[in-house]
Structure 1
């Protein structure tokens, strides 16, 4: 009798523990859906970092391999080198593993999961996740045959009495990337959730937002220094989105060592921060004292940590790097932004920001919306944050809304 009672009590206790774990630790689930007539692949993942990576790799294995081959083809066409040889040289140059394991160890596990799930060699998946660093390595060592075509434009505004904080961008990228556009929604074991725009096999390829109202937008800053150490771009993006508060995310970006020159537009429920990051500096930009908004169009405004290539280019035309920077700012998309949003602007509603992202002037250098615009996104950082995404040129493709 006592033995039976003891057995029943143990059994009940085990059932309670199992029930508690099921409620607090979601199963590793996955789902893949095609949206916008196939222009956007939507992938939902949950579970451990390794588990999410494994399902990511398993679901998108063929597309990952196709993307790897597309990048290699572009390398050979644009840089006139053997892709495998230059990739081998880059992988010998880079030394990012220690930074990834120190600052974002869960992403190292996720990358391992992608490799195992896709049945693709880990080094190939690791290199794919270092694409931004690889691209900068190519540009700093080999003169490309053509312009890479990355002309992203980002804009953000602090919370006002009339509107919540908002941040967004047009993400312009070489057109061979466009068919691979993927939106991931992830749910971690602690129930935290986020959306991030990326590409098959890459754990952090573009802008994103989390359930706590933290968002991030990204622009390349090719004039700024890179390093063979530091935290890679993909891990900076996802690392910031893993923070629970704006202050934590801001501190993360300001204190980590950066592997590449990038502009990170960080959004929170009260304000936004526009951070120009290089391998040795992080500088915040606002267009004027007291400005409640900020922007970037691929040129640094306040960070002077220039690459040797930028310095050499300026010397070739007998100008300073700062003069070159100011000339680039004056002729690209920045004048369009300054015309739309300036000291006299009082209205910052979402339609006005979206209209900026839709702006075209018949192929002019001020175009915000371009043929190589792969995706346009606007994050609404209210108490119930949401994302608007147009998976193509936003003047023709409607925005789709995602919430939590």
Structure 2
């Protein structure tokens, strides 16, 4: 998808109505994506979706945690199903991306993220690439979520409640998977954690939310508001703060602090690819950067450190950067969004 074609969907009202608006506006995109998803499951796991999904849902129980910590988002998922003409069970399973990966033992996860604390009049900056299997391409969308007291822009793959987002209150959240960390088959899934944290009023409140919810999946969360930036590696064992270096937090897909190992074979040092992308970010973010420098770092394609990922095959499971964001959170707040690999796609600027 080209960035200029990225749909922005107004999702206003109560949670169910927001979901209905999402599902109705993107119905054809969601239905086509679900067909690609089902095909990709067979490609990734070697068994058809008709067998994989019931087994996955039977072996896990995330609904209790969702109802305890994000009940409005459960209603939003019901609304998506209604608007798109999906079965509720299918819409629910579609939210469980990271959880599907660890249950199926997939190596699909990528993503590179960073947060820069405010200093000397420079705004807080939070950014990432969102790297997913190629079957998500063409389903990119930006949801403008509005309820009674605030709004937010949420980058998503159509049919999901969200992947990353920034609120009109000045809170921005980016994420990256940490598959080495311990999981909880009855915890709160990543999509619900992200949206639940985004609904908070500040980094401090979002950090409190991350610290008290049970996490289903290993995930790194980059948080920023006008006053500060913080990073947490989260897993079944809780949320661990990650220290900043020279005012920056740079992260890819291996834990830098947490020791909450998933199992004895988890490679805590990360893959060569994850380490290479982290080194690329470190090379580019050697000093306190501005938005332009961050965009360049997300577009980097160094040998051994390809941050902006283009698909290398026609396989539905081939990894690619389906989108990137940069949040500038100062006196004026701006979202820069790219619907594809930033090495090959343009950016679009949106006032928050």
TM-score (norm 2): 0.92
- Residues 211 and 37 (structure 1 numbering): CA distance in 2 closer, same or farther, change over 3 Å? closer
Matched, 1:283 2:240: yes
Matches within 5 A, 1:324-363: 325=269, 328=272, 331-342=275-286, 345=287, 347-361=288-302
Aligned to 1:26: none
Aligned mates of 1:124, 1:41 — CA distance in 2: 23
Check whether the contact 2:129–2:308 (CA below 8 A) recurs between aligned residues.
yes
CA distance in 2, matches of 1:116, 1:394: 34
Distance in 1 of aligned mates of 2:306 and 2:205: 35
1:227 is aligned to 2:184:
yes
> 2:114 is matched with which residue?
155
Query: Which of 171-180 and 329-338 deviates more?
Result: 329-338
Which position in structure 1 is the counterpart of 2:340? 392
1:164 aligns with 2:123: yes
Distance in 1 (CA, whole Å) between partners of 2:189 and 2:323 is 22
How far does residue 120 in structure 1 lie from its aligned partner after superposition? 1.5
Q: Which residue matches 1:129?
A: 95
1:200 aligns with 2:171: no
Q: Secondary structure at the match of 1:173?
A: strand
The residue that corresponds to 1:366 in the other structure is 305
Alignment partner, residue 294 of structure 1 = 249
Per the TM alignment, residue 68 of structure 1 is displaced from its structure 2 partner at its CA by: 1.6
Q: Is the 8 A contact 2:42 2:49 kept in 1?
A: yes
- Provide the C-alpha distance between the structure 2 equivalents of 1:126 and 1:330, rounded to a whole number of angstroms: 30
- Which position in structure 1 is the counterpart of 2:262? 307
Structure 2 counterpart of 1:60 = 26
The superposition leaves residues 143-202 of structure 1 with CA deviations (integer Å, 9 ceiling, x where unpaired) of x5xx53x32111111001141110101111111211111111111123x10000112211
Q: 1:122 offset after TM fit, Å?
A: 0.7
Match of 2:314 in 1: none
The yes-or-no answer on 1:382 pairing with 2:330 is yes
Residue number in structure 2 paired with 1:50: 16
Q: For each residue in 1:65-100, what CA deviation from the matched residue of structure 2 results, as whole angstroms up to 9, or x when unmatched?
A: 222221111111121112111110111111111111
Secondary structure, aligned partner of 2:191: helix
For 1:28-43, what aligned pairs fall within 5 Å after superposition?
Answer: 36-38=3-5, 40-43=6-9
Residue 10 of structure 1 corresponds to none
- Computing the radius of gyration over CA atoms, which structure comes out larger, 1 or 2? 1
Q: Which residue of 1 aligns with 2:315?
A: none
Report the CA distance between 1:35 and its aligned residue. Answer: 6.9
Give how far 1:326 is off: 6.5
Residues in 1 aligned to 2:332 and 2:121: alpha-carbon distance in whole angstroms? 16
Shift of 1:331: 4.0
Find the aligned partners of 2:127 and 2:121 in 1 and give their Cα distance: 18
Give the Cα–Cα distance (whole angstroms) in 1 for the partners of residues 274 and 130 of structure 2.
Answer: 21
Structure 2, gaps ≥5 residues long: 311-319
Deviation of 1:266 after TM superposition, in Å, equals 0.9
> Larger helix proportion, structure 1 or 2?
1
Match of 2:43 among 77, 94, 100: 77
Q: Does 1:249 pair with 2:206? A: yes
Kindly indicate whether structure 1 or structure 2 has the higher relative contact order, using CA contacts under 8 Å at least 6 residues apart: 2
Cα distance, 1:228 vs. partner? 0.9
Post-superposition Cα deviations, 1:243-289, rounded to whole Å, max 9, x if no partner, equal 1122111111122110101111111112211111111131122254x
Q: Which has the higher strand share?
A: 2
> Within 2, Cα distance between the matches of 1:374 and 1:74?
16
Deviation at 1:131, TM superposition (A): 2.2
The reply on whether 1:96 has 2:62 as its aligned counterpart is: yes
